[in-house]
Structure 1
Amino acid sequence: MPRRNPRGRVAVVIEVSELTKSYGGSVAVDHLSFTVRPGRVTGFLGPNGAGKTTTLRMILGLETPASGTATVSGVPFRSHPRGLRHAGALLDAHHVHGGRSATAHLSALARSNGIPRRRVDEVLEEVGLARVAKRRIGGFSLGMKQRLGIATALLGDPPVLLFDEPVNGMDPEGVLWMRRLFRRLAAEGRTVFLSSHLMSEMENTADDLVVIGRGRLIAAESLADFAARGTRPGVRVGTRRAAELTAVLTAAGASAAPGRAKGTSPDETGADTLFVTGLPADRIAALAHEHHILLTELTTHNASLEDAFMELTADSIEYVAGETR
């Protein structure tokens, strides 16, 4: 018997094992292995060209791997009859016939997957497109096409959902709606796999992360654990007597380096900036006061997802402004 989560939904896992894919002489995905579990939103991160879209396409059977496997509920997705009942996906919002209406597009998919016609109206209402359901898709904005893509993914009420950059073209209200949707889908026991370049969205949405670079796995862990692997928490300190303060802080057991926190050095007041680790902000302030050193800034800097991502993928960036690696 398949295992069910507390809400009664069958717990479906995405399993990727030693997945490899090349195009010509270029390796897009290189012996990649990870698991995406139900009941949580799993973010999929990597620099441009890391192999994220190729991986998603192989999971859905749209690309054939050179070696390795990608399974949904223990079998390749192509083995599932009426696929929209098993996994829904939004990979490219532009891949729709512009001459069709939203209703016609979804109705055709519903018929081919044995899905009741009433479900078309339900998902159009859910994504906010009910009032434009009869309009031709060619006249939709990108944000509207993204909503239609999400409606398509939800059409079969599947236990697995995959989204590739779904917030592109969405306005702030749409981004907030989508964030809440992903959280709700996971809370219902579904397996939600989400690719995005927006770190703020991952921080607000994802529970777990799969991070890749140059087609290889960098990390597969909780978002909190990954973020903690970034720059150590520290304190950004501004002062016009940086050398004296550095000596005082070093004697107290801290480490002070110029300009390592976000921002510039010198700061807008003309003072130098230090990034201090090993002492809390209140102790730094007390030592500065004790030695009559004026501070122009004292800001706690916590490790962030963006810090960790930039540091841990630095060797995997394919394209840098002005050069190609």
Structure 2
Amino acid sequence: MIEVNGLTKRYGGTTAVKDLTFTVHPGRVTGFLGPNGAGKSTTLRMILGLHEPSSGTVTVGGRPFRERPRGLRQVGSLLDAHDVHGGRTAMAHLSALAAGNRIPRRRVEEVLREVGLVKAARRRIGGFSLGMKQRLGIASALLGDPPVLIFDEPLNGLDPEGVRWVRDLFRRLAAEGRTVFVSSHLMSEMEHTADQLVVIGRGELIAAESLAEFSARGTRSCVMVGSSALPALEPLLTAEGATVRREDGLLAVTGLTAARIGEITQRHGIPVHHLSARASSLEEAFMELTADSAQYLAGGTR
């Protein structure tokens, strides 16, 4: 478990992270989202003890990470796939990490096999593609078989097969009871992978909730209604304060719940053959709910 309480980080007159409080629970994949410049990387580095907070606390498994000897047995992380010595081989890189954390040598071969780098194990890392470096970074994170795993943009450079492999890997790790915390800008992948979300903007918390709850907060969440009497139903719904639009032969209704729409149609004797809630996509909800927190905007200035 990762517990963040009142976490703040200032650089001179700039506050990169402000009073963040959230918990990342085991047994779930938790996505960490935010616009560019939101403070995600700074937060991850404070969790790992690489940056000292200006105030607040962060613990992993009940203790600050810096207090844990042989850290790879407690937390595995991938923050920057390029942060490796290009002159070393993949085998040498992982072997050095294993030796420093008292991890058995056989584990190096196991993780190389798991990430699909056995054939490249004795090649120099400087010749690796970005996707191969991502796989090596994931291997490094898995090396100590830790209960907590943290990944920053792990999908960059991966081909579709690699993306699917990572998605399945994260789900398997969470199913094993591990804490999996993943920062990514790929909303479509987070929509297929994450169970929970932590969303920040300008260093402050916007949401810490399930993916379904966050998506439902978008104004594009609606109830789809099908009826043979749509012309009669539409003014009844707008009279109740709903916003109604036609979409593929149905009414897309915002501002009323499905239960309330059912009551209205029943009261007025209007037949209904379709009634379903449709949440905003994660991307739609994210763009809407973080609009005021975006540091860089295309097409204009704020």
1:227–1:303 contact (8 Å) kept in structure 2: yes
1:46–1:211 contact (8 Å) kept in structure 2: yes
| Structure 1 Cα separation of the partners of residues 5 and 235 of structure 2 | 51
Aligned position for 1:211: 199
Aligned position for 1:84: 72
Task: Identify unmatched segments of 5+ residues in structure 1.
Answer: 1-12, 237-244, 262-273, 284-299
Give the 3 Å change call, closer, same or farther, for CA 279–103 of structure 1 in structure 2.
closer
Equivalent positions of 1:104-115 (< 5 A) are 104-115=92-103
2:223–2:252 contact (8 Å) kept in structure 1: yes
| Structure 2 Cα separation of the partners of residues 200 and 149 of structure 1 | 22
Deviations 1:253-287 (A, max 9, x none): 2445789x9xxxxxxxxxxxx9654699xx9xxxx
Aligned position for 2:268: none
Task: Identify unmatched segments of 5+ residues in structure 2.
Answer: 263-276
Aligned position for 1:312: 289
| Structure 2 Cα separation of the partners of residues 119 and 279 of structure 1 | 53
| Structure 2 Cα separation of the partners of residues 78 and 117 of structure 1 | 24
TM-score of the two chains, using structure 1 as the length reference = 0.79
Aligned position for 2:171: 183
Q: Which of 59, 66, 72 is 1:71 aligned to?
A: 59
Give the 3 Å change call, closer, same or farther, for CA 122–35 of structure 1 in structure 2.
same
How many residue pairs align between the two structures? 277
Displacement, 1:322?
4.4
Q: Which of 102, 117, 121 is 2:90 aligned to?
A: 102
Equivalent positions of 1:132-151 (< 5 A) are 132-151=120-139
In the TM superposition, structure 1's runs of 4+ consecutive aligned residues that sit over 3 Å from their partners are 247-250, 254-259, 274-280, 322-325
Percent identity over the alignment?
A: 71
Deviations 1:285-304 (A, max 9, x none): xxxxxxxxxxxxxxx96422
Matched, 1:118 2:106: yes
TM-score of the two chains, using structure 2 as the length reference = 0.85
Matched, 1:173 2:161: yes
Equivalent positions of 1:261-300 (< 5 A) are 276-277=253-254
Displacement, 1:158?
0.3
Which amino acid letter does the alignment assign opposite residue 221 of structure 1?
E
Matched, 1:18 2:6: yes
Q: RMSD over aligned Cα, in angstroms? A: 2.5
| Structure 2 Cα separation of the partners of residues 31 and 56 of structure 1 | 15
